[in-house]
Amino acid sequence: MAIDSTDATVGRQRERRVTRTALFFPERRSGFDRRRLPGWRGRLQADLERYAQSRLTFPLVMATILIFNFIDYAMTVRALGAGALELNPVMQRLFAMGWETAALVKLLTAGVVVLVLTGLRRYRRTLELSLVVLLGYSVLTFYHAYLALQM
């Protein structure tokens, strides 16, 4: 029996497939395949699997992100005190409201990001993102250290 798309009921039961809203989540699995990939992709996948299974490495990366975020804030305050300009327009407005507001928003935002990454740590993309965030904060911290040496 064919179901007409305008009539979504068959007898007393309602046809769920016609009216149901489909949501697509591209990564329902953890993202780790059983098959081994060749070359650098295989090594990257093996390293990410070890990173996911380690009980110490992921929390250490999250703690490092929080520490680097605080160092970024402290060095920014120091640079602004020495006469530098804040290039980030969002932080510029927050510093105009007060350093307490800027500190609260910056540190809470980093805390929420770390909590989200921790909650989704079983996914490969989350692990990759955590390493990218760590790399970004590392570069930013070394940049601030370079600027501090120039002052």
Number of domains in the chain: 1
pLDDT tens sequence across 110-135: 999 999 998 888 888 888 999 999 99
* The pLDDT of residue 147: 83
Q: Tell me, yes or no, whether 79 lies in a domain.
A: yes
**Cα separation, 21 vs 73, whole angstroms:** 44
- CA 54, 63, 28, 44 dihedral sign is negative
Q: Tell me, yes or no, whether 30 lies in a domain.
A: no
pLDDT tens sequence across 41-63: 888 888 888 888 888 999 999 99
pLDDT tens sequence across 84-109: 888 889 999 999 999 899 999 999 99
Q: Tell me, yes or no, whether 90 lies in a domain.
A: yes
Q: Tell me, yes or no, whether 27 lies in a domain.
A: no
In degrees, rounded to 5, the angle at the alpha carbon of residue 129 between the alpha carbons of residues 128 and 135 is: 95
pLDDT tens sequence across 15-30: 666 655 555 555 555 5
pTM (two decimals): 0.71
* The pLDDT of residue 22: 58
